[in-house]
Every structure is written in C-alpha cells, then in structure tokens.
Amino acid sequence: MKIVAICGAGIGSSGILKVNAERVLGRLGIQAEVTAAHLASLAQDAANAQVILTSPEFVDAIGKTNADIVIVENYFDTAELTRKLEAALG
C-alpha cells in the first residue's frame, strides 16, 4: 500500500504528516510505504497511491485521482490521524 502526504512545498508539513502517519500505521499494525510530496510532483508521486493525506487548502489542487483523499486538520494530532486512517483503510 502506498500513502502520499502532500503540502505546497513538500518539505515541512508533509514531512511531519509522513512521520506521524508512519507512527499511527505502526500502532495499527498496517504496513504501508508513506512518502512526502509537493503539489507540483503529485501526479507522479501519487500515481499508484491508495491514500493521499493533505490539509483542507490543498484538496482542490489535487485534481482527479483514484486515491482516497484524507483531510487532516491537525498534523500533530495522532488521534485524529488514527481515526481518519482507520476509516480510509478499514
């Protein structure tokens, strides 16, 4: 399974989201490749992703995708991320 965390620049917030998603997935016992990406490389990075993690302001920029888009309000809230990943993957 592939999960892509995106933000505008692909450095800061997507990196934080990637690390927290990996922690949550580990606790849930789910194996997945989690990568951080920026909007400009999204088409390539998320071509075969099952889930895209992002904040509300980037949803419209994602465009057409077969991946489930999971909107995360607080990148540091692992409880929120756990609920949303369980819903998307369950």
Taking only the tens place, the pLDDT of each residue in 1-30 is 999 999 876 568 889 999 999 999 999 999
Taking only the tens place, the pLDDT of each residue in 28-73 is 999 999 999 888 877 787 788 999 999 999 898 888 888 999 999 9
Query: Angle of helix 78-89 relative to helix 13-28, nearest 10 degrees?
Result: 70
pTM, to two decimals? 0.90
Please state which CATH class domain 2-89 belongs to. Answer: alpha beta
- 8 CB-near residues (< 8 Å, 6+ apart): 38, 39, 58
